[in-house]
Amino acid sequence: MPEEKIVVLMGSPRDLQFAAKIKDFLKKENFSVSCVYDVASAHRTPEKLLNDLKEYEESGDSLVYITVAGLSDALSGVVAGYTRFPVVACPPDSGKHGGAKVFSSTAMPRGIPVAYVVKPENAALVAVRIFAISNPELKEQLDKFKQKMAKAVYEGAEEVKKITQKKDVNRLAV
């Protein structure tokens, strides 16, 4: 039976600490999406990358690729050029390289779409949202997550209100 799977492709094993946040987020928030990790460089091992992509494509699974590659991000473009599935670039060095990184990851030719997401947790959430379009169970999980996020905001607003009211009362008493 086909599985919904996030394939995290890293350009180097050094990217694992950053990329691990994807699976950690899925587990923490109880999203029932499979997540696998692989390393292949579009520059150093293009044949490995293409062989790996072929295997993923032939698996019959529904996929979202999240590419985690530093420096010149050829990985995202090559993956997007090969697959029919969504590709989300989530570079570990976007804070360091800013606009140049966005350009490196997303300036693709027409017909080769790559989305760009800075935080690995949000990259995971993009994948969950894509899968939730056709998976009612994931849609429910996503709805619960959104309710949890909203609840935290309402609770925070109440807490701030209480703190600021106390301070106003103290100021009036002085």
pLDDT of residue 101: 63
3-state secondary structure of 110: coil
3-state secondary structure of 37: strand
User: Is the confidence at residue 55, as pLDDT, over 70?
Assistant: yes
Q: Could you count the other beta carbons within 10 Å of the beta carbon of residue 64?
A: 25
Residues in the chain: 174
Q: Mean pLDDT over residues 37-56, rounded?
A: 97
DSSP E strand boundaries for the chain: 4-10, 34-39, 62-68, 87-89, 115-116
Q: What does the pLDDT look like over 67-104, one tens digit per residue?
A: 999 877 899 999 999 999 999 999 997 767 666 667 66
pLDDT of residue 100: 66
pTM given for the model: 0.89
pLDDT of residue 2: 81
Q: What does the pLDDT look like over 95-147, one tens digit per residue?
A: 676 666 676 677 788 999 999 999 999 999 999 999 999 999 999 999 999 99
Portion of the chain with pLDDT greater than 90, in percent? 78
What's the CA gap between 35 and 124, in Å, rounded? 9
Angle at 70 between CA 67 and CA 73, to 5 degrees: 65
